């Protein structure tokens, strides 16, 4: 799957999302529930805006000195006996993991939820190795794996688009489950199946919420406890981390863990917050071999550019949970494993404008994402910045679209042209306009309307009617001229 989750165009994906009524209802419910939980948790903490400032400061500081902290972290992992591999690309990361799996002759691998492993397409590579079986152990990811590796649709709730009956059917078909669709019974079944596999696994693969530079430990947050089993039972652990996911010490990690839990799920802390590395020689469990893969894969494209703040992200998903566009098109609408506002900013940085150039336009620019971000990433401003880069710097807008924008620019920037346009718009759209009888809905546009507009207007008329402009003598400018303060009788 990798970063790209669909070969369809944005329009095709949106059409597919429109058909998926359950997904829309599930996303709306999730957004509403999470709104309540998140805001309550933030209010209970108090001084939320100052906490955000602290979160932003920690992330900005670390990104500003990223190479120094990565050097310190990798030195400390090595001091504990671990290994660190710096991977420029997804392929390099994959190859390193493959090398470890083959060297250990591993047959069973457990994974705890990690977006980066999906980004580098790790699972298909592991599954292609002879005699190797892999199990995703986060419940949602486990469900997606059982359902023939369906795509995740949310950063925090990857299987949000599936209902309990769909899940029961998958469990019945793939696991021989005979119970009902009660989530508790489904979860117990998953526990039993996964527990057996855990105890036999030779390698555990995890992501990394934060890497702690001064100790060489990694920090993981979960509610299910699967990450803790993944770092405890197998003799070998492989950690995949985006290069930006680093903090100076546990003190800063602790602040971010608090912001993360309150923002992602409305908890004070997630049930399990763990700091761990290679086991000490006298300890009986934990990894005897510890590998960390630090991944660039396009992230450095953001450094030194206006997009640098996107690397502040702590993957809480709260920008998805407030986004009106995400609410309607769901995670799959974005065609990237990073959906929602953060995905619309990050995906073009990682995967380029050719693949993801549409995403910065999939936004109403309402700014709710910026408002909710716990580390103050100016998300909607970065969406505008992407548009600017594509249009002004890279000149990516060609042909008719570019011509239309130029005409609009010229007309609105030249008073004489603008005034002329205002005089002829009513008459010139007469042929395209339709009329219908006066009812409440069209009380103010009974002069006619367009439902199949040309060019730029088409995007509007695809989803709603466009009122025919009023006659020049009745438009706002004429009205205003007649009714200027002091020159009117109040009518």
Footprint (CB under 8 A) of another protein, residues 20-79: 26, 29-30, 33, 45-47, 50-51, 53-54, 57-58, 61-62, 64-72, 74-75, 77-78
Start-to-end Cα distance in the chain = 64
**Binding status of residue 414 toward another protein by CB under 8 A:** no
Minimum CB distance to another protein smaller for 238 or for 276: 276
DSSP string over 349-388: HHH-HHHHTTGGGS-----HHHHH-TT---HHHHHHHHHH
| Residue 186 binding another protein, by CB under 8 A | yes
Question: Strand, helix or coil at 414?
Answer: coil
Q: What share of the chain is helix, strand, coil (3-state, %, to 5)?
A: 55, 10, 35
| Shortest CB 306 distance to another protein, Å | 13
Angstrom distance (rounded) from CA 76 to CA 212: 9
Residues 146-175 as x/- pattern, contact with another protein by CB under 8 A: -----------xxxx--xx--x--------
293, containing H or E segment: strand 289-295
- The least CB distance from residue 431 to another protein, in Å, is 52
Task: Give yes or no for residue 256 binding another protein (CB under 8 A).
Answer: no
215 binds another protein (CB under 8 A): yes
Whole-number Å distance between alpha carbons of 180 and 164: 9
Q: Which residues pair with 427 in a beta bridge?
A: none
Among 211, 294, 329, 383, binds another protein (CB under 8 A): 294
3-state secondary structure (DSSP) of residue 491? coil
Q: Which one of 4, 115, 303, 457 is in contact with another protein (CB under 8 A)?
A: 303
The least distance separating another protein from the CB of residue 375, rounded to whole angstroms, comes to 13
Touching another protein, residues 226-245 (CB under 8 A): 226, 228-229, 231-233, 235, 243
251 is an interface residue for another protein by CB under 8 A? yes
| Footprint (CB under 8 A) of another protein, residues 323-362 | none
Q: Does 304 bind another protein (CB under 8 A)?
A: yes
> Are residues 120 and 90 in contact, defined by beta-carbon separation less than 8 angstroms?
yes
Assess contact for 292 and 64: CB atoms under 8 A. no
The C-alpha atoms of residue 352 and residue 360 are separated, in whole angstroms, by 12
Piece of the chain touching another protein by CB under 8 A; list 252-260, 384-392, 454-462, 469-477: 252-260
- Indicate which single residue of 183, 324, 352, 430 sits in contact with another protein (rule: CB under 8 A): 183
CA distances from 311 to 26, 133, 219, 349 (A): 29, 33, 18, 10
Which one among 86, 197, 353, 418 touches another protein, defined by CB under 8 A? 86
467 binds another protein (CB under 8 A): no
């Amino acid at each position: 799957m990798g970063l790209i989750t669909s070969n369809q165009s944005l329009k095709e994906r949106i059409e597919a999302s429109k058909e998926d009524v359950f997904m829309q209802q599930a996303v709306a419910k999730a957004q509403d529930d999470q709104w309540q939980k998140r805001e309550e948790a933030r209010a209970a903490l108090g001084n939320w805006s100052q906490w955000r400032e602290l979160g932003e400061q920690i992330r900005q500081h670390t990104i500003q000195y990223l190479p120094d902290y990565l050097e310190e972290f990798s030195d400390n992992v090595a001091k504990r006996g671990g290994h660190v591999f710096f991977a420029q690309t997804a392929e390099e990361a994959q190859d390193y993991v493959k090398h470890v799996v083959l060297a250990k002759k591993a047959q069973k691998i457990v994974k705890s939820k990690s977006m980066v492993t999906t980004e580098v397409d790790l699972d298909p590579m592991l599954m292609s190795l002879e005699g190797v079986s892999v199990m995703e152990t986060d419940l949602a990811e486990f469900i997606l794996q059982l359902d023939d590796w369906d795509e995740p649709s949310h950063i925090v709730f990857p299987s949000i688009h599936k209902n309990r009956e769909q899940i029961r059917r998958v469990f019945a078909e793939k696991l021989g489950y005979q119970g009902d669709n009660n989530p508790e019974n489904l979860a117990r079944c998953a526990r039993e199946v996964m527990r057996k596999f855990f105890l036999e696994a030779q390698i555990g693969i995890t992501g990394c919420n934060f890497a702690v530079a001064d100790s060489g430990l990694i920090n993981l947050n979960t509610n299910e406890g699967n990450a803790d089993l993944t770092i405890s039972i197998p003799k070998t652990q492989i950690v995949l981390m985006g290069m930006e996911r680093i903090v100076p010490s546990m003190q800063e990690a602790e602040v971010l863990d608090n912001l993360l839990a309150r923002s992602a799920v409305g908890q004070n802390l997630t049930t399990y917050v763990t700091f761990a590395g290679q086991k000490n020689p006298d300890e009986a469990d934990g990894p005897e071999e510890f590998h960390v893969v630090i991944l660039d894969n396009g992230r450095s494209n953001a450094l030194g550019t206006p997009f640098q703040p996107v690397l502040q992200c702590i993957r809480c998903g709260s920008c998805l949970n407030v986004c009106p566009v995400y609410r309607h098109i769901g995670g799959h609408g974005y065609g990237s494993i990073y959906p929602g506002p953060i995905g619309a900013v990050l995906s073009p940085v990682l995967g380029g404008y050719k693949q993801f150039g549409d995403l910065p336009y999939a936004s109403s620019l309402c700014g709710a994402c910026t408002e909710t971000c716990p580390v103050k990433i100016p998300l909607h401003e970065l969406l505008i910045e992407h548009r600017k880069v594509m249009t002004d710097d890279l000149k990516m807008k060609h042909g008719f679209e570019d011509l239309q924008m130029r005409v609009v620019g010229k007309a609105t920037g030249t008073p004489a042209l603008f005034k002329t346009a205002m005089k002829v718009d009513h008459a010139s759209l007469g042929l395209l306009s339709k009329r219908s009888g006066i009812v409440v809905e069209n009380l103010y546009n009974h002069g006619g309307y367009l439902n199949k507009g040309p060019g730029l207007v088409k995007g509007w008329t695809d989803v709603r009617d466009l009122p025919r402009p009023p006659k020049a003598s009745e438009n706002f400018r004429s009205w205003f001229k007649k009714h200027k303060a002091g020159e009117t009788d109040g009518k």
